[in-house]
Structure 1
Amino acid sequence: MSSVIASWRGLWSLLLMMLALPVTATEYTGKVVGVSDGDTLTLLVPDGSSYKPIKIRLGEIDTPESAQPYGARAKQQLSELVFDRPARVVVQTTDRYGRTVGRVYVGGFDINAEMIRRGAGWVYRQYAKDSSFYRLEAEAKAAKRGLWALPEAQRIPPWEWRKTGGGVATSPPIKASNLPSTPATRNEWVCADKRYCRQMTSCEEARFYLTTCGVKSLDGNHNGKPCEALCTPSHQ
Structure 2
Amino acid sequence: MKKLLFVLILILISSCTYTGETTLEHKLEGPYLVTKVVDGDTADVIINGKTERLRFSGVNTPETDECYYQEATDELTKLILDKEVYLQQDKTDRGKYGRLLRYVYLDDLLINQHLIENGFAKAFHKYKDDTSKYELFARAEFEAIRLEKGLWKDC
2: CA distance between counterparts of 1:121 and 1:78? 11
The one-character-per-residue Cα deviations of 1:61-92 (angstroms, maximum 9, x if unpaired) are 10100111111111011111111111011122
Shift of 1:29: 2.9
- 1:148 aligns with one of 146, 149, 152: 152
Secondary structure of the 1:127 match is helix
1: CA distance between counterparts of 2:85 and 2:73? 17
Is 1:28–1:90's contact at 8 Å kept on the other side of the alignment? no
TM-score by length of 2: 0.74
Shift of 1:96: 1.1
Alignment of 1:46-195 (within 5 A): 47=48, 51-92=49-90, 93-128=93-128, 129-130=132-133, 131-151=135-155
Greater share of strand residues, 1 or 2? 2
TM-score by length of 1: 0.50
2: CA distance between counterparts of 1:26 and 1:137? 24
Structure 1: give runs of 5+ residues left out of the alignment: 1-24, 152-236
User: What one-letter code is carried by the residue in structure 2 that aligns with 1:36?
Assistant: V
> Which structure carries more relative contact order (alpha carbon 8 Å, separation 6+)?
2
Shift of 1:28: 4.4
Is 2:40–2:69's contact at 8 Å kept on the other side of the alignment? yes
Is 1:64–1:70's contact at 8 Å kept on the other side of the alignment? yes
Question: Percent sequence identity over matched residues?
Answer: 29
User: What one-letter code is carried by the residue in structure 1 that aligns with 2:126?
Assistant: Q
The one-character-per-residue Cα deviations of 1:132-186 (angstroms, maximum 9, x if unpaired) are 11111111111111101124xxxxxxxxxxxxxxxxxxxxxxxxxxxxxxxxxxx
Alignment-derived partner of residue 31 in structure 2: 29
Shift of 1:102: 0.8
**Number of aligned pairs?**
123
1: CA distance between counterparts of 2:153 and 2:66? 14
The one-character-per-residue Cα deviations of 1:118-137 (angstroms, maximum 9, x if unpaired) are 10111001223321111111
Any runs of at least 4 consecutive aligned residues in structure 1 with deviations exceeding 4 A, and if so which?
none
Alignment-derived partner of residue 23 in structure 2: none
Alignment-derived partner of residue 5 in structure 2: none
Structure 2: give runs of 5+ residues left out of the alignment: 1-26
Shift of 1:26: 7.8
2: CA distance between counterparts of 1:120 and 1:97? 22
User: What one-letter code is carried by the residue in structure 1 that aligns with 2:85?
Assistant: A
User: What one-letter code is carried by the residue in structure 1 that aligns with 2:145?
Assistant: K
